Structure 1
Amino acid sequence: MGLLQTTLAAIYPPSCLGCGEMVDSDFGLCGSCWGQTEFIGGASCDSCGTPLPGAAIEGVIHCDDCMRDPKPWAHGRATLTYSGMGRKLILQLKHGDRQEIARPAAGWMRMAIQPLITEKTLIAPVPLHWLRMAKRRFNQSALIAKQLSDMTGCDWCADLLQRPKRTLSLDGKTRQERAEMLDGAIRINARRKHRILGRSVLLVDDVMTTGATLAACTHACVAAGAHQVCVSVLARVTKDT
C-alpha cells in the first residue's frame, strides 16, 4: 500500500483546492489561497456566526440583527465569510462539480461545532427540491453533512427534511419575502420522523444569508419533536461582503 500511495502521489501530486498549485498534502490550500480565505475567529454571534469585533470571550454574545430578530434555533456556527477564496470554493462545490471540497470543508467546520454536539446528535442537511437535485445531481450540503458524520461519529440522515415546494432563487429578496417564499416549502420526511423524536438536530448548509431557509428547517424539526436544533454553515454572508 505504501508503494502504491507513493506511486500515485508521483503521478497525481497533491494540488491546492483553490488554484491547483502543488501542496504538501491532499485537500489543502497553498499559502496564497489560504491568505485569501477569511476564517471566522475571535468573537462571533452565537446565533448566526457573524464575526464580531474583538477577541473571543466567555459567554454568549449576539449580533445586533439577532438581538432584534432572534433566530429560532439554539446555536449557530459559521466557519468562513462568504468572500474571497471561501466564496470561490463554495461556488466550485455547488456548480463546478468539485465534490472533493466537501471533505476539507467539513474538517474546518468540525472544530466550531464540537461544543454543540453529543453522541445522540442527528446531523441533517438542508434539502434541495427534486428538480434542482436532478439538475445538479447532488446536494452539496448533504456531502458536507456526511463528512461531518464520519468525522464526529454522529448519526446523519440525508433525507430527514424534504422540499416539496419549488422556490425561486432567494438572492436579492428581503427577509420578509424569503420567509413568505419558504412558507410550506420544507417538511419532515414522514418515513424518517421516528429518528428525530427527542433528539438534538444539527442542520448543515453551505451558506447562510438571512437564515430564512434554516429557520424553515428548524420550525419543521421542532414541530416533529426535536429536542433542540443547532445550525452549522460553511460560510456566512456578512454586511460587507
Structure 2
Amino acid sequence: MPRSADTWLGRFGGAVARGAIDVLLPPRCLACETPVERQGLLCAECFPRYRFITAPMCARCGVPFAHSGEAGPDGLCAACLAHPPEFGRARAVWRYDAASRDVILPLKHADRTELAPALGRLMATAGRELLDGADLLVPVPLHYRRLVARRYNQAALLARTVGRIAGVPVVPDLLRRVRATPSLGELGAAERVAVLAGTIAVASRHRARLAGQRVVLIDDVLTSGATANECAGVLLKAGAAAVDVLAVARVPLPRA
C-alpha cells in the first residue's frame, strides 16, 4: 500500500476512534466539568486563567520576561548569564501558578492519567522548535520506591504523547534515579543542586544509543532547573550531542 494511503487510513482510523470516545465520554474542560468541543480543551471561562509562555522569554532557560528590556546579551536572563545551565534550551506551555497547578497536580498525585494526552499535545506545540531536531525523548525518572507508590511516571506519560505527535522515539527508562531524594518543593536552587548531585544515572543498556544524539528531556514542571541540569549533565557525559528540556509549566522567577 502506498505510504500516502497508509497515512490517510491511519488518520481516518484515528478520527473514527476519537469520535467513538467522544460519544462514550463527552469532552470536558481540562480544568472543570464544562462540556467543550474536543477532548483536551479548556472552556471559555477557564482559558483566560492559564498564562501561556510566549516571547519575551530567556532564549536559554525559557523563563518569561515581563518585557523585552529584561533580556541581557544573546537574549539571556541574568541567571543564565551568570551560571549557564547544562541544557541548551528549555521551553514550557504555561507559567506555573494556581491555574496550572489545578491540572498538573492531579496528574502527578491523584491518578488523573487521562490528563497526560491533552497536556502532551500542548507540549508538542510549545516545544516544536526543540522537537524538530530531536533524536530521542527521555522523561525525568522517578526513584523506584516513588514509582511503585505512584504506579506511573507522569513525565513518561507526557513523553509518550509528545513522541507520538512529533514522531520522535521515546526511551522511558534511559535515565535512572539511583538514590531517593526528599521532596524538593520547599528548597531553594542551591539546596536542590546539593540534594540532587549524583542521584541520576544512564541505564547501561541504553548508553550506546545516546552517542551523538540530540535529546529532549521531558518533565511536568521546571522550577529552578536543578533536576533538568543534573539529568542534562549526565546525558552529555554519556555521549549525547545536546540536551533540551520541555515541560508543561515553568516557575516564572527561579528561586535564588
Task: Check if 1:22 corresponds to 2:35.
Answer: yes
8 Å Cα contact 2:224/2:254 also seen in 1:
no
Match in the other structure for 1:208: 222
Pairing of 1:14-163 with structure 2 (within 5 A): 14-54=27-67, 60-118=74-132, 121-163=135-177
Q: What is aligned with 1:182? A: 196
Change (3 A) 1:52 1:4: closer
Give the stretch that moved more between structures: 26-35 or 149-158.
Answer: 26-35
The one-letter code sitting in structure 1 at the alignment partner of 2:36 is V
CA distance in 1, matches of 2:251, 2:218: 15
State the shift of 1:85 in Å. Answer: 2.0
Q: In the aligned structure 1, how far is the partner of 2:110 from the partner of 2:239? A: 37
What amino acid is the match of 2:242?
Q
Aligned residues of 1:109 and 1:234 also touching (Cα < 8 A): yes
SS at match of 1:155: coil
Query: What is the RMSD computed on CA atoms of the aligned residues?
Result: 2.4
Can you list the C-alpha shifts for 1:178-232, whole angstroms capped at 9, x where unaligned? 1111111000000111111111110010001111111110111011000111111
Change (3 A) 1:5 1:160: closer
Q: TM-score under structure 2 normalisation?
A: 0.86
C-alpha contact 1:119 1:154 (8 A) present in aligned 2: no
Q: Cα offset for 1:112?
A: 2.7
Contact 2:22-2:39 at 8 Å conserved across structures: no
Q: Deviations over 1:136-179 (max 9, x none)?
A: 11000011111111000011100010001000011221222211
The answer to whether the 8 Å contact 1:119/1:153 transfers is no
The answer on whether the counterparts of 2:192 and 2:226 sit within 8 Å (CA) in structure 1 is yes
CA displacement 1:38-72 (0-9 Å, x = unmatched): 111121112221111336x9x95111222222111
The letter for the 1-side match of 2:92 is A
Query: What SS does the corresponding residue of 1:206 show, helix, strand or coil?
Result: strand
Partners of 2:16 and 2:228 in 1: how far apart?
A: 46
Seen in structure 2, the aligned counterparts of structure 1 residues 6 and 60 have a Cα distance that, compared at 3 Å, is same
Which has the larger displacement, 208-217 or 65-74?
65-74
Distance 2:125 2:19 in 1: 30
The answer on whether the counterparts of 2:138 and 2:170 sit within 8 Å (CA) in structure 1 is yes
Report the secondary structure of 2:244's partner residue: strand
Distance 1:158 1:171, change over 3 A: same
Partner Cα separation in structure 1 for residue 83 and residue 101 of structure 2: 26
- Mark the runs of 5 or more structure 2 residues left unpaired by the alignment: 1-12
The answer for unaligned runs of 5 or more in structure 1 is none
How far apart are the structure 1 equivalents of 2:170 and 2:99? 28
Number of equivalenced pairs: 240
State the distance in 1 between where 2:27 and 2:82 align: 46
Instruction: Give the SS at the match of 2:104.
Output: helix
> Secondary structure of 1:229's match?
strand
